Chains A and B, each alone.
Chain A
């Protein structure tokens, strides 16, 4: 019995040893068996040619030089807050040799809501034309808002044919806006067309191929008159109405204070309305700066009235005169600083 029990113990210790040492053995086995074998990665590769990527085509020869033509028909539903817009456009590919099969523009900074929104008008080996309606995202720059210029980007890429098969060339002769192109509230500042060779961080083994990307940018500028009358003029009116009380003497102190305090509420509401139309930003927009100037001006006007409570009556006339001649220029300086900084 004792002998059996001892044997059991040995077997038990051996089992414990095997169980605990198994991960170690497993690691050692893995270290010795995993050889950096490209075939074993599961991703097919090309041994010939410059690129190993499965999307490369070393047998294609010289890449097709594709001139990209672009006609922007319209832009609609532009929302600065969502950084989104819809665009209707024609895009053409014209090449010096037959293009690889199944070429179709892929949008990289937006999406096509429905397959029906891509209409193939021409599909020849050396000439292709599509009409596309799609949504795009383009980050706004609001530092100069409301005198801002925004850039609307349309980016198109060939994501299954690399630059070993197809190279894009922006075609200045065939890049235009439609005759009746119009964006309410905006004027077109510039249009830009460029091609880049895009490289993705590795998505799979040997993802070493560059992909051709076409980028169309439309620079749009807000009408200055619109900016003036929607932001600066109301801000000026708020400040001016608040300032009107400064010419009243101590006998009209209630009226004097009442000309500023409600304007502070009006300024906050007005600022809130502006902010509602914009996305949150990490910086101050031009509108924020002018509103900060307005807040400072309003506080200054209120302070000029509160001085009547803070100081003795013998100083009241002096406060009135100082307020009358110093506060308005200070308001003007604040407003200018808010507008120009």
Chain B
């Protein structure tokens, strides 16, 4: 019986947090229709969003299909506008947590499993000084504690 607490601790190491849904506002920095169908209607759309409320420079490019593109166009939002997004945060088979933008404004985003184009650029940059002279910059690519505190969906571990 004494071994049970130890086993519980051991098993808890392998436990993963359950899926969570976060909401935030982002700024649209790019909106491009990548492919049009034969009727010249948007079929594939790229939407670049910037998480302005998060520290650093967090940019994400999300690609959506026909319904998503049509819906985004119908919202009337353009570059520089703030828009509401829903983010799903869950465990990934790759061995870390991942986030996915599942809804932009009222537009559901259905992700094609073969989508290899959507990407994110999570970084916090600062200038690099030597003897008070700025000679460059350094960008941290692993989300820092301050970033995770204000935008918890960026947590990977």
Residues of A in contact with B (beta carbons under 8 Å apart): 170, 172, 175-176, 179-180, 187-196, 215, 219, 221, 223, 225
> B141 and A192: CB pair below 8 A?
no
* A interface majority secondary structure: strand
Complex Cα distance A223/B123, Å? 19
Complex Cα distance A104/B117, Å? 32
Name B135's contact: one of A176, A179, A189, A195 (CB within 8 Å): A195
Name A192's contact: one of B117, B119, B139 (CB within 8 Å): B139
- A196: B residues at CB distance < 8 A: 135
Nearest CB of B to A225, in Å: 7
Complex Cα distance A170/B125, Å? 13
22 A-B pairs (CB sep. < 8 Å):
A170-B137, A172-B125, A172-B137, A172-B139, A176-B121, A180-B119, A188-B141, A188-B142, A189-B141, A189-B142, A190-B141, A190-B142, A191-B123, A191-B141, A192-B138, A192-B139, A193-B137, A194-B128, A194-B136, A194-B137, A221-B142, A223-B95
- B119: A residues at CB distance < 8 A: 179-180
Nearest CB of B to A279, in Å: 26
5 A-B pairs with least C-beta separation: A194-B136, A170-B136, A179-B119, A192-B138, A188-B141
Complex Cα distance A26/B128, Å? 58
Nearest CB of B to A205, in Å: 30
Nearest CB of A to B139, in Å: 5
> A193 and B141: CB pair below 8 A?
no
What per-residue 1/0 map shows which CB atoms of B123-157 lie under 8 Å from chain A?
10100100000011111111000000000000000
> A180 and B136: CB pair below 8 A?
no
- A189: B residues at CB distance < 8 A: 140-142
> A194 and B135: CB pair below 8 A?
yes
Complex Cα distance A221/B156, Å? 14
**Which A-chain residue is minimally distant from B127 (CB atoms)?**
A172
Given contact pairs A170-B136, A189-B142, A194-B128, enumerate 4 new A-B contacts (beta carbons under 8 Å): A187-B142, A191-B141, A192-B139, A195-B135
Nearest CB of A to B34, in Å: 14
Q: Confirm or deny: B76 has a beta carbon within 8 angstroms of a beta carbon on chain A.
A: no
Name B137's contact: one of A179, A192, A221, A223 (CB within 8 Å): A192
Complex Cα distance A172/B135, Å? 11
Q: Confirm or deny: B5 has a beta carbon within 8 angstroms of a beta carbon on chain A.
A: no
Interface footprint category on B: 10 to 19
- Residue from the set B117, B141, B142 with the largest chain A CB neighbour count within 10 Å: B141
- Residue from the set B116, B125, B135, B140 with the largest chain A CB neighbour count within 10 Å: B135
- A188: B residues at CB distance < 8 A: 141-142
> B140 and A193: CB pair below 8 A?
no
Name A180's contact: one of B116, B138, B142 (CB within 8 Å): B116
Complex Cα distance A12/B155, Å? 97
Name A193's contact: one of B116, B121, B123, B136 (CB within 8 Å): B136
Complex Cα distance A176/B95, Å? 24
> A190 and B139: CB pair below 8 A?
yes
**Which B-chain residue is minimally distant from A191 (CB atoms)?**
B139
- A193: B residues at CB distance < 8 A: 136-138
- Residue from the set A172, A180, A225 with the largest chain B CB neighbour count within 10 Å: A172
**Which B-chain residue is minimally distant from A171 (CB atoms)?**
B137
> B136 and A190: CB pair below 8 A?
no
- A221: B residues at CB distance < 8 A: 142
Complex Cα distance A192/B135, Å? 11
Complex Cα distance A86/B56, Å? 30
- B121: A residues at CB distance < 8 A: 176
Nearest CB of A to B74, in Å: 28
Nearest CB of A to B73, in Å: 25
Nearest CB of A to B65, in Å: 19
**Which A-chain residue is minimally distant from B135 (CB atoms)?**
A194
- A223: B residues at CB distance < 8 A: 95
- A194: B residues at CB distance < 8 A: 128, 135-137
Complex Cα distance A223/B156, Å? 12
Nearest CB of A to B147, in Å: 14
Nearest CB of A to B70, in Å: 25
**Which A-chain residue is minimally distant from B123 (CB atoms)?**
A191
Nearest CB of A to B122, in Å: 10
